[in-house]
Amino acid sequence: MNLRIGHGYDIHRLEAGRPLFLGCVEIPFDRGLLGHSDGDVAAHALADALLGAAGFGDLGRHFPESDPTTRGMSGTRLLEETSRKIQAAGFAIVHADVTIVAEAPRLSPHRDAMLAAITTALGVGALDSKVLGLKARTNEGLDAIGEGRAIAAYAVVLLRGRGALG
């Protein structure tokens, strides 16, 4: 079996007056994530892990800020395009696990919506909570995340490649 593991990480600053996009859904909050894109750290970490597992390099290489089409890009579109790239190369997602680190807002009420939106964006309808882990935790009040100035996300992904070399 040709299995590939990938890891991704992202962090964005929180700023007042912006919509908060996390896990491909908009979450009611008084602050949102600052970025060239919509700032969806969960989508970015997951896309980074997918590209890493496929050996395709980092997110910036595929979606450079110098490309005007990436301006305001949604996490949904980012995952759609990343998933298309890895599937075109013969990879299939075996399992993915995403951890969001945010002091606020509480994310558990939005978990199911995020799971559904992420799996839809990946185009893997068979994925459910058994093969896509999605967890949220706080940073125990520590550092920029704990002080509510940023939100971060980590992701690990397992891909199955086609053939001996994938």
Enumerate binding residues for Mg ion (CB under 5 A).
10, 44
> In angstroms, what is the minimal distance from the CB of 35 to Mg ion?
6
* Residue 100: strand pairing partners: 136, 153
Which tokens is 115 given? 């799971």
**Closest CB to Mg ion among residues 33, 127:** 33
> In angstroms, what is the minimal distance from the CB of 128 to Mg ion?
26
What is the DSSP track for 96-159? EEEEEE-SSS--GGGHHHHHHHHHHHHT-TT--TTTEEEEEE--TT-HHHHTTSEEEEEEEEEE
CA atoms of 40 and 64, how far apart (whole Å): 16
**Closest CB to Mg ion among residues 10, 80:** 10
> In angstroms, what is the minimal distance from the CB of 48 to Mg ion?
8
**Closest CB to Mg ion among residues 44, 110:** 44
User: Which value, to the nearest 10 degrees, does the dihedral of the CA atoms of residues 21, 23, 28, 31 take?
Assistant: -40
Which residue of this chain has its Cβ atom nearest to Mg ion in the complex?
Answer: 44
**Closest CB to Mg ion among residues 46, 161:** 46
> In angstroms, what is the minimal distance from the CB of 22 to Mg ion?
12
Which tokens is 59 given? 């997110």
